[in-house]
Amino acid sequence: MTRAFIAGIENQQKNFPYLMKELAQLVAANNLEVVADFSQKLTKPVAATYLGKGKIQEIAEAVDHYQAEYLILNDELSPTQIRNLEKETSLKVLDRTELILEIFSNRARTKEAQLQVEIARLKYQLPRLRGSITARLDQQSASSTSANRGAGETKLELNRRTIQHRIDFLRRELKSIEKEYDIKSKSRRASAIPRVALVGYTNAGKSTTMNGLISLLAGDKKQLVLEKDMLFATLDTSVRRLTYPDNKTFLLSDTVGFVSKLPHNLVEAFKSTLAEVREADLLIQVIDVSDENSKEMVATTEQTLEEIGAADKPMIYAYNKADQAGITFPSVEGLQLTYSAREHSSIEQLAAMIKQFLFKDYRTFTYLIPYTQGSYLERLNVQANVLSTDYTEDGSKVTAEVSPRQADYYARFLVKG
Ligand SMILES: Nc1nc2c(ncn2[C@@H]2O[C@H](COP(=O)(O)OP(=O)(O)OP(=O)(O)O)[C@@H](O)[C@H]2O)c(=O)[nH]1
Ligand SMILES: [Mg+2]
């Protein structure tokens, strides 16, 4: 396996060891082996080289001994910093942002995820052109003639324009996909089915929890999603319709996990994927309670939720992997659940909590639906807990337990008194 060093600057951040550990995991997720880590106490990075002289020398001297090929830094660096570090250490240098982009790029399976990642990547490259693509092109032209000096500048402009055009093109592609998505999401809104989104740090067990709930409430194994011991196994949002035995229905979504310092471009690019989270009525934050850094992971998740505009949603805190942590489970305290996503009674408990939360405002009403509006009756039968139906002269008289949103939707059929 290709060997890599990681390095970071420790300033006032008290969670520095956690950030470095996370960086090491991100490196491993890129199939590189971390052979040594370096850290330096500095109030801020050195403008030209990120790390200080002494530290760079220490790294350069360790290269042979460790047979390292890469140096990966804990922050986003300027192109100059990257170039200088490469020169002085003779290692290939990547920053944290590139590393995350690389993982996302390798994991993206659907068209939407691929477009989103490519946009984020190009936006990262745009201000860095000189250091990467142009340098290569300049090398090519240098071997041809010396007459077209200065042509480098034009090429740079050209490359910038090409990349900008590509970004615009990809954005349009993405928009057309999002339009389809938007139509779906509008029809979901119109159907007034409550929506629940699983959120949390990557690898916490969101997809496993989703699958547990699918197995319990959907009964169709074909609907299961991918769960895997790997960072960012899930990049796309999956939505499933789940129904309790009394017909109460909700939509559950599973989506991309979070990590500290998630590149802004990436969050921006994934905004549409994260729409399910923004529009949810209830969030379930899945937390790996067996991880010693679970507190930091909660903070990271909440920070990201804020960034995407979903900070003040009601939330169930779902402390997962209790089996691994040696904690008794399942146990409930208010909106907090300690559980294991792999265990049946835990999932039943979570399903009960979701039900209690979502359907607490449900009321029973009687509606009179004219026979000419049969589609409403059909929909009500599918969506609501229909308690009785009477076929009268004026239409179907239905008594059903409905949500506040459904109550609004069906209000025109309400039987007064
Ligand atoms: N021991 C134990 N392992 C679990 C539990 N829940 C999930 N896992 C494991 O944790 C790993 C990650 O689970 P996923 O459900 O894929 O995690 P995720 O949050 O969807 O991760 P990403 O999609 O990568 O963000 C898998 O190997 C699961 O089998 C649990 O309750 N106990
Ligand atoms: Mg997942």
Count other C-beta atoms under 10 Å from residue 81's C-beta: 22
- Which ligand is located closest to the Cα atom of residue 330? 1
Predicted pLDDT at 318:
98
Quick one: average pLDDT of 267-284? 88
Report whether residue 321 contacts ligand 1, using a CB cutoff of 6 Å. yes
CA distance 198 to 256: 9
Cα–Cα distances in Å, from 211 out to 214, 215, 221, 330? 5, 6, 9, 17
200 is in an annotated binding site: yes
Q: Give the residue whose CA is nearest to atom 21 of ligand 1.
A: 203
408 is in an annotated binding site: no
Predicted pLDDT at 153:
60
Predicted pLDDT at 131:
46
124-138, 207-221, 317-331: least confident range: 124-138
Structure tokens at 390: 């009477």
pLDDT single digits (tens) 290-303: 999 999 999 999 99
Count other C-beta atoms under 10 Å from residue 372's C-beta: 8
The secondary structure element, H or E, covering residue 122 is helix 111-125
pLDDT at 167 exceeding the cut of 60: yes
* Mutate-to-test residue for ligand 1 from 207, 209, 211, highest number of ligand atoms within 8 A of CB: 207
CA distance 324 to 42: 37
pLDDT at 108 exceeding the cut of 60: yes
Which ligand 1 atom sits closest to the C-alpha of 230?
Answer: 24
Q: Which amino acid is at 111?
A: K
Report whether residue 207 contacts ligand 1, using a CB cutoff of 6 Å. yes
Predicted pLDDT at 127:
83
Q: Ligand 2 centre and the CA of 318: distance in Å?
A: 15
Predicted ipTM of the assembly: 0.99
246 confidence band (pLDDT: 50, 70, 90): confident
Range with top average pLDDT, 103-112, 137-146, 241-250, 318-327: 318-327
Q: Ligand 2 centre and the CA of 212: distance in Å?
A: 13
Q: Ligand 1 centre and the CA of 235: distance in Å?
A: 14
Task: Please give the class, per CATH, of domain 193-358.
Answer: alpha beta
Which ligand 1 atom sits closest to the C-alpha of 204?
Answer: 19
Q: Ligand 2 centre and the CA of 321: distance in Å?
A: 15
CA distance 48 to 125: 19
Task: Please give the class, per CATH, of domain 3-104.
Answer: alpha beta
Report whether residue 403 contacts ligand 1, using a CB cutoff of 6 Å. no
Q: Which amino acid is at 199?
A: V
Quick one: average pLDDT of 126-154? 54
* Mutate-to-test residue for ligand 1 from 106, 110, 202, 208, highest number of ligand atoms within 8 A of CB: 208
Cis peptide before 404 (omega within 30 of 0): no
pLDDT at 268 exceeding the cut of 90: no
Q: If DSSP codes are grouped into helix, strand and coil, which group holds residue 90?
A: coil
Q: Ligand 2 centre and the CA of 214: distance in Å?
A: 14
Phi, psi of 392 (to 5 degrees): -105, 180
Q: Ligand 1 centre and the CA of 206: distance in Å?
A: 7
pLDDT at 144 exceeding the cut of 60: no
CA distance 50 to 154: 30
48 is in an annotated binding site: no
Q: Which amino acid is at 47?
A: A
Report whether residue 204 contacts ligand 1, using a CB cutoff of 6 Å. yes
pTM, 2 dp: 0.83
CA contacts within 13 A on the Cβ side of 57: 3
Q: Which amino acid is at 132?
A: S
* Mutate-to-test residue for ligand 1 from 106, 109, 203, 230, highest number of ligand atoms within 8 A of CB: 203
Report whether residue 293 contacts ligand 1, using a CB cutoff of 6 Å. no
Predicted pLDDT at 240:
93
Q: Is the dihedral of CA 305, 310, 312, 315 positive or negative?
A: negative
